[in-house]
């Protein structure tokens, strides 16, 4: 990521650490429900934290981010330690859980979008790669614990990320060019959409077994 | 894919669009059986449609095909729209289903084989990469819906693809050099083998629990 | 892998063939429990055998090892033939199974570590990539047969590999520089740890459902 403006690099780094920590927590939390051992849970935490970004870097043929810098691995392991030490405080409570979960995906969305743009991807690829960065880790996590990935069934996960991505590219058309503002607004929008979706149980219409017309999730 | 003869490029593109559309339909259809929401079903459709080719491009270190050209994504989304609008007509009926399913894998086989050859792969790698292009999307689809991948248990999927691949390389030895004819014949052979396998319930012998000698599927 | 010393290359090749054979056996054995057909079992055997190395090569952006040399595929198919012919002798018996399984992961660990170093990875990346080489094939195998990956729950799999990796880098500090000795000792340590873990049912403490403090696996 040589072409990077140092300020932006630092900005992205901070986001990445926060998202990595949150992602690892979610991985450890869900593995614990399957009575994985601590090592297995750590691996799933790691996969959840860096899985999306690893897939993104493979697709854009960038060097894999966590291999260039030990801090991602260290951050993930810190999350495992945090769960081991503050177990209940860290992962019980729907609110805490929602915050970690949503902070993680909204940050990863913006990070993935930014990095893809820096690697010369088109705006629509950047959005898709952002969504991949945000949700692929969670999909890999759910595959590892042998569950149907939550994001295919739960409230507006990936769709919220996509909305944040579109906003990022829409803002300049309404005169807002500032990179920081656009990133922050995207994160906020994703966070708000997720919060509303959970508060009001909003969801995407469900496909019934016959793949027939719309019917709402019971 | 610069070294490409334009005619061949166009030929491959047409095959890719047809295969992508068929693949997305199959992904949406199977997700619907799991009551995924429309967004989840679209993602699974997308994964089914482009998953195999994405894995192939990663393995041969080619730029990922769907990132170079929005039409693959658009085609997949068109398939989702088609299912939403013509639901029953599109995806009910064993015959329709078989046709889409088999058109998809036979086209992907030939596409994957062609592209691998253009990227300098050996004939045996091209066959393997063709099979990967053909079936990996379906494997990823089945992993996403948390089922044992069909192709490991159903009638002669991958084996039919491999047979088509071998035919492609065998034809010149019997004097048939024409690229179009070889591609078309491979597709036809895969289609016919699949059709016979389903009509006469042909399958590969099953391994029993002890991994002991052959026994036929009950 | 141009920079390679020929002796080391040969050494690595021999290890790779042994590990590939063992990996394929384990894939076929577990698929057989799911009554996969022979082709499906062969594919799963292949995935188990080359999956970890393929992921490693993708991550370090090396050409995928099995595409450069048909012997890996041939070795995997030989393993399938071996299971078909000597079924019981090959895969029944806990000891035989343990030996194949553990030989496979310990060899893959060292191979992955070596290759990562040759590709200029740092020591900690080399250990992680070694563990990935060792266990990712098994994870992919378990995902294909729709089971929770064993290594997240079974005795000290990946942890034993990591220990072998750390030993590899620790030995020079106690004056042992010889590359062969370090490789052999790493393999032995992994093998011994696995053996002790199974004999004395050692495991990593389990996370209970609340992600609360340590409790030992029942």
Measured between CA atoms, the residue of chain B closest to residue C40 is: B152
CA C164 to chain CA centroid, Å, is: 12
pLDDT of res. C55 = 94
Highest mean pLDDT among B80-94, B96-110, C34-48, C160-174: C160-174
Q: Which of A70-74, A189-193, B82-86 has the lowest mean pLDDT?
A: B82-86
Please give the ipTM for the structure prediction.
0.81
A18 Cβ neighbours under 8 A, 6+ residues apart: A103, A107
d(CA C19, CA C100): 8
Measured between CA atoms, the residue of chain C closest to residue B203 is: C37
**CA-angle at B152, arms to B149 and B158, nearest 5°:** 110
B143 closest CB neighbour out of A122, A143, A158: A143
Question: Is B152 in contact with C44 (Cβ distance < 8 A)?
Answer: yes
Written as one string, the DSSP assignment of B150-211 is GGGTSTTHHHHHHHHHHHHHHGGGGT---HHHHHHHHHHHHHHHHHHHHHTT--PPBP-TT-
Tens digit of each residue's pLDDT (9 = 90 or more) over B24-78? 888 888 887 777 888 888 888 999 999 999 999 999 999 998 998 888 899 888 8
Question: Is C32 in contact with B210 (Cβ distance < 8 A)?
Answer: yes
For chain C, which chains pass the contact test of at least 3 CB pairs under 8 Å? A, B
pLDDT of res. A214 = 35
Q: Kindly list the residues from chain A whose CB atom is less than 8 angstroms away from the CB atom of residue C153.
A: 35-37, 40
The CA distance from C59 to the nearest CA of chain A, in Å, is 7
Question: Is C206 in contact with A33 (Cβ distance < 8 A)?
Answer: no
Q: Kindly list the residues from chain B whose CB atom is less than 8 angstroms away from the CB atom of residue C29.
A: 211
- Stretch C178-203: mean pLDDT, rounded? 85
Q: Where are the domains of chain A?
A: 6-152
- Stretch A164-179: mean pLDDT, rounded? 90
Measured between CA atoms, the residue of chain A closest to residue C151 is: A40
Q: Kindly list the residues from chain B whose CB atom is less than 8 angstroms away from the CB atom of residue A156.
A: 39
Task: Evaluate if residue A145 carries a pLDDT over 70.
Answer: yes
In the three-class reduction of DSSP (H, G, I as helix; E, B as strand; rest coil), residue B215 is classed as strand
Task: Evaluate if residue C213 carries a pLDDT over 60.
Answer: no
Tens digit of each residue's pLDDT (9 = 90 or more) over B156-187? 778 889 999 999 999 999 888 888 889 889 99
Per-residue confidence band for A155, with pLDDT thresholds at 50, 70 and 90? low
Per-residue confidence band for A107, with pLDDT thresholds at 50, 70 and 90? confident
Selection from C53, C79, C48, C81 nearest residue C66 by Cα? C53
Per-residue confidence band for A27, with pLDDT thresholds at 50, 70 and 90? confident
Tens digit of each residue's pLDDT (9 = 90 or more) over B46-58? 999 999 999 999 9
Question: Is C28 in contact with B146 (Cβ distance < 8 A)?
Answer: no
Task: Evaluate if residue B128 carries a pLDDT over 90.
Answer: yes
Q: What is the mean pLDDT of chain C?
A: 81
Count of pairs with CB atoms under 8 A, one residue in A, one in C: 91
The CA distance from C123 to the nearest CA of chain A, in Å, is 11
- Phi and psi torsions of A37, nearest 5°: -75, 170
Question: Is A33 in contact with C209 (Cβ distance < 8 A)?
Answer: yes
């Amino acid at each position: 990521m040589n072409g990077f403006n140092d300020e932006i690099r630092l900005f992205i780094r901070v986001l990445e650490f926060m998202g990595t920590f949150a992602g690892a927590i979610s991985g450890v939390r869900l593995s614990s429900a399957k009575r994985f051992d601590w090592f297995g849970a750590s691996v799933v935490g790691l996969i959840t934290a860096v899985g999306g970004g690893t897939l993104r870097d493979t697709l854009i043929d960038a060097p894999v981010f966590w291999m260039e810098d030990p801090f991602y691995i260290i951050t993930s392991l810190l999350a495992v330690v945090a769960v081991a030490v503050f177990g209940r405080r860290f992962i019980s409570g729907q609110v805490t859980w929602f915050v970690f979960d949503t902070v993680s995906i909204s940050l990863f969305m913006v990070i993935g979008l930014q990095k893809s743009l820096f690697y010369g991807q088109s705006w629509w690829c950047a959005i898709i790669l952002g969504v991949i960065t945000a949700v692929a880790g969670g999909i890999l996590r759910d595959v590892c614990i042998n569950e149907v990935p939550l994001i295919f069934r739960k409230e507006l996960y990936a769709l919220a990320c996509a909305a944040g991505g579109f906003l990022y590219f829409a803002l300049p058309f309404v005169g807002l060019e500032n990179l920081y503002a656009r990133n922050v607004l995207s994160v906020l929008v994703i966070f708000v959409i997720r919060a509303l979706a959970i508060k009001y149980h909003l969801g995407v219409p469900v496909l019934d077994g016959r793949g027939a017309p719309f019917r709402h999730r019971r």
